[in-house]
Amino acid sequence: MKQRAILTVAEERLALIIWREAPVNSTKLVEFAAAEMSWKKSSTYTVLRKLCDKGVFKNEGATISVLLTRDELIACQSRSFVEDTFGGSLPKFITSFFGDCEITEEQASELKLCIDEHKAGGANR
pLDDT tens digits, 50-85: 999 999 999 999 999 999 999 999 998 999 999 999
Tell me how far the alpha carbon of residue 2 is from its chain's centroid: 14
Closest C-alpha to 44, from 72, 15, 73:
15
**Rounded distance between C-alpha atoms, residue 69 and residue 90, angstroms:** 23
In the chain, residues under CATH classification 1.10.10.10 are 9-68
Give the CATH number of domain 9-68: 1.10.10.10
Q: Please state whether the predicted TM-score (pTM) of the whole model is above 0.95.
A: no
Those residues with Cβ within 8 angstroms of residue 70's Cβ, 6 or more apart along the chain or in another chain: 15, 16, 19
Q: What is the pLDDT of residues 95-124, one digit of tens each?
A: 998 888 888 999 999 999 999 998 876 555
